[in-house]
Amino acid sequence: MKRRTLLKFAAGGALGAGLLPWWRQREDVPASRPAPASLVATPPPASPPAKATRPDRAERIRRFDEDLPGDVTLPAGRWPVFLATLARLERVRDLVGHGHFALLGFDAMLRHARGHASVGAFPPDELAFMEEIFALDARRLGFEGPRVLPRLTATIPVAETVKVPGTGNYLYRDISLALYRRLRRDVGESLILTSGIRGIVKQMHLFLAKTRRTGGNLSRAARSLAPPGHSYHGIGDFDVGKAGFGRANFTARFAETEEFRRLRQLGYVRIRYPENNTTGVRYEPWHVRVVSA
């Protein structure tokens, strides 16, 4: 895809200035996803509700999976394009397979979509939606980490990657693979790779899928998952876990395992998001820091 001028929604707004006319900032904490207006009859309040104070970073991390005052949410009117975009991304994933999807670039994704009727080309409104999600200032969501992939069309250098047997995940051949092998040697074979390289497309899908699970709360999603362009998985980091521990590997319970205890005893291991980190992300004891930038 040749670089296009970023599309704008009919509501207007300049992406270059970081303005998103469609998002809504939560002042109180209603139900995660609003019911259709036709189904709800709400009497007018006797007086305007008082604004709730946005929690500080430490409290937001502690309550990472709650709807909080100040959170940014998708308004009901954006749900149709949001769900259509997410569904098309999932059709691309099913077409190319989960492993290749992790390495897939944005332009290649568009070609796959156009070339397969089972997916269908991304229409302008879905392209615009993904571009706005990518371009938004993540600090508005409470995510304070840097943008490490500056372009939506940034690609993974596939020739520099290798698929790790038995995991379905890829790592960069140089420092990431060497570190993973060293960890397995020092901790034991019960330490496994649970997530490796994730390009822009994979991160976009994960972030939108998380947003769906939070009922449209973008800030709540960003407390658990870096917005697309901000994930260190794109440039070297990876996740580890305990064999047979399943989804608990992505919870604080991993910090209670013998594998994590051994991991922390190694003087050369750094965790990307420790407790009380400064990026606004929940504690992730499984996320191994590979790159320092």
Q: Which of 138, 141, 263, 246 is nearest to 194 (CA)?
A: 246
Report d(CA 87, CA 84) in Å as an integer: 5
pLDDT of residue 49: 56
> 68-288 maps to which CATH number?
3.30.1380.10
What would the pLDDT profile of 26-42 be if each residue is shown by its tens digit? 655 443 444 333 323 33
Q: In percent, how much of the chain has pLDDT > 70?
A: 82
The mean pLDDT of 1-9, rounded to a whole number, is 39
Q: What is the DSSP string of 12-81?
A: ---TTTT--TT-EE-SS---SSPPPGGG---PPPSSPPPPPPPPPHHHHHHTTTS--TT-EE--GGGHHH
Beta strands in the chain (DSSP E): 24-25, 72-73, 161-164, 169-172, 191-195, 238-242, 271-273, 284-288
pLDDT of residue 80: 98
The mean pLDDT of 19-32, rounded to a whole number, is 51
Pair of tokens at residue 161: 């990657």
Helix (H, G, I), strand (E, B) or coil at 169: strand
| Higher pLDDT among residues 5 and 186, named by residue | 186
What would the pLDDT profile of 153-167 be if each residue is shown by its tens digit? 999 999 999 999 999
* Per-residue pLDDT at 293 exceeds 90: no
Domain boundaries, the chain: 68-288
pLDDT of residue 292: 75
* Per-residue pLDDT at 23 exceeds 70: no
Report d(CA 57, CA 9) in Å as an integer: 31
What would the pLDDT profile of 222-280 be if each residue is shown by its tens digit? 999 999 999 999 999 999 999 999 999 999 999 999 999 999 999 999 999 999 899 99
* Per-residue pLDDT at 45 exceeds 70: no
Question: Distance of CA 199 to CAs 15, 170, 240, 288, Å?
Answer: 22, 11, 18, 17
pLDDT of residue 52: 75
* Per-residue pLDDT at 76 exceeds 50: yes
Least confident of 1-5, 34-38, 147-151, 252-256: 34-38
Q: In percent, how much of the chain has pLDDT > 90?
A: 80
Residue tagged 């290749």 (tokens): 100
